[in-house]
Structures are given as C-alpha cells and as structure tokens.
Amino acid sequence: MVKHLKASTSLFALAGCVAFMPGAALAADGADEGPITVVAQRREEAQVDVPISVTNLGSDALITANVEELSDITKMTPGLRFDFAGAYFQPTIRGVGTPVTSAGSQGNVGIYVDGFYSPNPLATDFDVMNVQSIQILKGPQGTLFGRNTTGGAILVQTADPSIETSGEARISYGRYNEVKAQAYATVGISDTVAFDIMGLYRRGDGWQRNISFQPKPKRVGDYENWSVRLGLLAQLSDDVEVLIRYQHGKIDDPGPLLTASYRDSEIGGGQPYYAAPG
C-alpha cells in the first residue's frame, strides 16, 4: 500500500541589504532592453562580464516552460538534474553531486533564495512563486558562496514588495482534474515600507492507478500542495534596506514515491509497476 508523502516547510529571514549586496536579477527578453544582468558574483553586473558559466532563466521563460517546482528547471538547463529518494531532493550539476539524501545530509550544489542558503533537502523542490529569475551557476562556487557549492549554485530571486499597489490572480484546469490557483498582491504602507503576499494552491487526481484493485483499479496519484509567502520591505536609507520574509508550504504528493519501472506495450516504459492506461 502506497501512502501519501507529506512534508511541511517554513522559512523566516531578516536581511540588512546595503549597496554592495545583490539586488534583483533581470533577464532581458530582447536586445533592445539592454544586457542581461546577473548576481553570480554577489553583485549586479552584465552576464557577458562574468567569467562563470551561467544559465539565466527570467520570469517569462519560466512561465512559458510551465515551471511549477524548482526541479522543473532541469528541462531548461543543460547539465542539471535533481536526484531524489522519497521527499529528499539533491541537485547535481555536470555530474557533481551526491546520491546521499537524508534529513541530515547536505548536497554539493547550494540553493539560495533571495540570498539565503536553503540547507534542508526536504525543502529543496519547492513551489516557484512569483519568481523574477533563477540563475544556475555551473562549477565550483566556494570562493563567494562557501561550502556545499562544489558542483555549483542555484540562485532564486523572488519579486520584492513594491510601494505601488498591484495584484494579479491566475487559475487553470487540466486533465486528471488538475486545478492550480495562484494570487499575488503588494501594497505600500508608507513611502519607504511595502508589504506583499503570495498564495499558491495545486491539486489533482494524478494518472497512476493500482490495477491490483479489481474490478475497478484504485487511483493512487492524488496530490494536494499549497504555499504562502509574506514579505515586508523597509527602505531605511539610500544604501540600506531591510527585507523580512516568511514562507510556509505543505506537500501531500505521492509522486516521488511512485518510481518502480515497468515496461508495457500500451503505457510504455518508466511507469510505476501498477500503473494502467486511462
């Protein structure tokens, strides 16, 4: 009997950002918008001036490729893969990584969200919410990012709160009763303080079925995931700003556990051994 995998993650961060620390990294969609800027060396600079192999994914590219979770960037990044065992995920870049995935282990590719290191392999494959850019740095990055970056680093830059009030909402429906709802809002509390909130909900029936249940196979791929993120940005001076972030998410998804391979003339290869067509 396959049980659903449940995980809960949260993050609270306080940062004092000064002029020489990285800000938002923007990916230009066309040559007329100027050069692409990255923060691969912990400061904003043109990507052409960075002596590092960098794959820079802007927000438009992420939406076009339907990137929902961080591991989805593998389909857009040569040399990157996410290995997993149950709920534990570890990225590997150019073959440099570790097969060890447990609560106490840390990989060889560092993941940074808004400049903060994410060490927990249970929280590695998180939902991508209102992200400005994702930069994948290939090769050793220990000089600037410290340990656990022998293979490289993944930098996730989310959108900062804005004093200009705005918001957006999206909802979609797909096969296997997949529903995805996402909403974002930001508001200025004063001329120097802004607040934002982001919510994401995804559920579906999944396509896997256990054919040992007869006469009607039992559906085993049901999932339900949600995440919420809050942010408070205060501009203390021209050179100093403080960003407070809180993020919480819950995953109820058996997908990573359904990996037993089976070859069938109708459903092909790589499917769970109990999967059935339809």
d(CA 188, CA 167): 12
Q: Distance between CA atoms of 244 and 131, rounded to whole angstroms?
A: 17
Is the whole-model pTM more than 0.75? no
Tokens of 145: 């990012």
Hey, what amino acid is at 84? F
Beta-carbon contacts of residue 141 (< 8 Å; ≥ 6 apart): 52, 110, 149, 152, 153
CA distances from 118 to 89, 107, 113, 245, 248 (A): 12, 11, 7, 14, 14
**Distances in Å between the alpha carbon of 1 and those of 13, 219, 220?**
39, 12, 9
Instruction: Round to whole Å and give the CA distance between 106 and 97.
Output: 10
The tens digit of pLDDT for each residue in 165-213 reads 999 998 999 888 999 999 999 999 999 999 999 999 999 988 877 777 7
Domain locations in the chain?
A: 25-158, 166-271
CATH code for the part of the protein at 25-158: 2.170.130.10
Question: pLDDT tens digit string along 6-22?
Answer: 444 444 444 444 333 33
Q: Which helix (H) or strand (E) holds 194?
A: strand 193-204
pLDDT in tens, 103-144: 667 778 989 988 888 887 777 778 888 888 999 999 898 888
